[in-house]
Amino acid sequence: MAHEHRDEPLGERAQHLLRALVESYIREGQPVGSRALSRESGLALSSATIRNVMADLEALGFVSSPHTSAGRIPTDKGYRFFVDSLLKAQPLDTADAAEIKRELSSGLDDPKALVSAASRLLSSVTRLAGVVTLPRSQVQAVSQVEFVGLSENRILVIMVFNDREVQNRIIQAGRHYSPDELKRAANYLTEQFRGRTLAQGRQEILRQLKETREHLNDVMGTAISVAQQVISPEGAQLEYVIAGETNLMGVAELASVERLRRLFEAFNEKRDFLHLLDQSLRADGVQIFIGHESGFQILDDCSVVTAPYSADNEVVGVLGVIGPTRMAYERVIPIVDLTAKLLGAALNSRR
């Protein structure tokens, strides 16, 4: 959760008032005035003193004043300081913990079913949106590649890994390919990839391409132009299951129809959102992206709390919760953490 601040350190009184303000705003969703803050903080301070501290916090960028209100609300920077320095860790609600344990140890055998259950659980327990990536096999050896031509020069790519796991992707080709071209290209790729990971297969194709550039035949040309879209150096693209997007419709800060439409489109297109999840895959433990920290404008009013999950001591996926920046972090963080641990344990038990 490290996002360092190089600003001057906040005094104890300012920290206490900032925590009271953030907790009140998360709970009530209303800008917090100095009188309410005096009551919330439990400090015997005059309204004038509180107003001075608030002016300092505003100058430092931790709070802002909505135009229509005398109260203040936290900024992304204020939430970040709260999460990093002021958050009081809460034990996970026993009923929530019991529900997550029960659902994820109920003998579901299929990884996709487990992922769907985890996504649904994250959503129902937090009443926000839950997202879980499908687990990546530790060594995904390609068994077979098939191409199916679709309309408008699109191609359905079917890849079988480890003789049992099937992944499908639709790509946009630069021109129309005949069924015969696609079949020959798929056969060539299957031949090059069989028993290799995507990254190894990619290296092999590039090696051959170097050697045979002068007499590149049509089959290889077709295969390579299609393969370049399917295979990135990092290997297979993440896929994820999302649940509870409609919960975000009840969140006042996100509830404009246009904003929600763009947010749901981003979830469906997956591209930007996958970058965020990919960062979390490489992280250690719970990560929190607050507002603009995600780097994607569509998530400027959202926070995303993620954690990687492991099987056989290797990270195979990531899960998380998407909600407004005004979310109950002290409740969401332990839920995400526990679900990641239990999903990993459930996947381990079926291996």
Q: Tell me which residue of 22, 102, 32, 93 sits closest to 62, measured CA to CA.
A: 22
Specify the pLDDT at position 343: 92
**pLDDT interval class at 110 (50, 70, 90):** confident
Segment 202-216 shows an average pLDDT of 65
Per mean pLDDT, which range of 125-139, 165-179, 260-274 is the poorest?
A: 260-274
Measured CA to CA in angstroms, residue 334 lies from 11, 12, 20, 93, 163 at distances of: 28, 26, 21, 9, 37
pLDDT tens profile 226-251: 666 665 544 445 678 888 888 888 77
CATH of domain 94-136+238-349: 3.30.450.40
**pLDDT interval class at 43 (50, 70, 90):** confident
Q: Is 319 helix (H, G, I), strand (E, B) or coil?
A: strand
Specify the pLDDT at position 234: 44
Which DSSP state fits 72?
Answer: B
Q: Is 289 helix (H, G, I), strand (E, B) or coil?
A: strand
Specify the pLDDT at position 274: 76
CATH class of this structure's domain 142-230: alpha beta
Tell me where in the chain the CATH 3.30.450.40 domain(s) lie: 94-136+238-349
CA distance 171 to 226: 8
Contacts of residue 261, Cβ cutoff 8 Å, sequence gap at least 6: none
Specify the pLDDT at position 154: 87
Sheet arrangement for strand 154-161: 142-149, 154-161, 165-172
| pLDDT above 50 for 4 | no
> Does 3.90.180.10 match the CATH number of domain 12-86?
no
Which DSSP state fits 128?
Answer: S
Q: Provide the angle, in degrees to the nearest 10, between the axes of the packed helices 329-349 and 94-104.
A: 20
| pLDDT above 70 for 220 | no
Measured CA to CA in angstroms, residue 129 lies from 97, 107, 185, 302, 318 at distances of: 18, 24, 40, 11, 14
Per mean pLDDT, which range of 77-86, 96-105, 233-242, 284-293 is the poorest?
A: 233-242
pTM exceeds 0.85, yes or no: no
Here the tokens at position 100 are 């997550």
Segment 86-96 shows an average pLDDT of 83
| pLDDT above 60 for 270 | yes
Specify the pLDDT at position 175: 82
What percent of the chain has a predicted confidence (pLDDT) above 70?
Answer: 84
Q: Tell me which residue of 184, 183, 203 sits closest to 193, measured CA to CA.
A: 203
| pLDDT above 90 for 88 | no
Segment 325-343 shows an average pLDDT of 93
Tell me where in the chain the CATH 1.10.10.10 domain(s) lie: 12-86
Task: Please give the residue that has the higher pLDDT: either 128 or 267.
Answer: 128
Contacts of residue 18, Cβ cutoff 8 Å, sequence gap at least 6: 10, 57, 62, 63, 74, 78, 81, 82, 86
Per mean pLDDT, which range of 39-53, 72-86, 99-113 is the poorest?
A: 99-113
Specify the pLDDT at position 134: 85
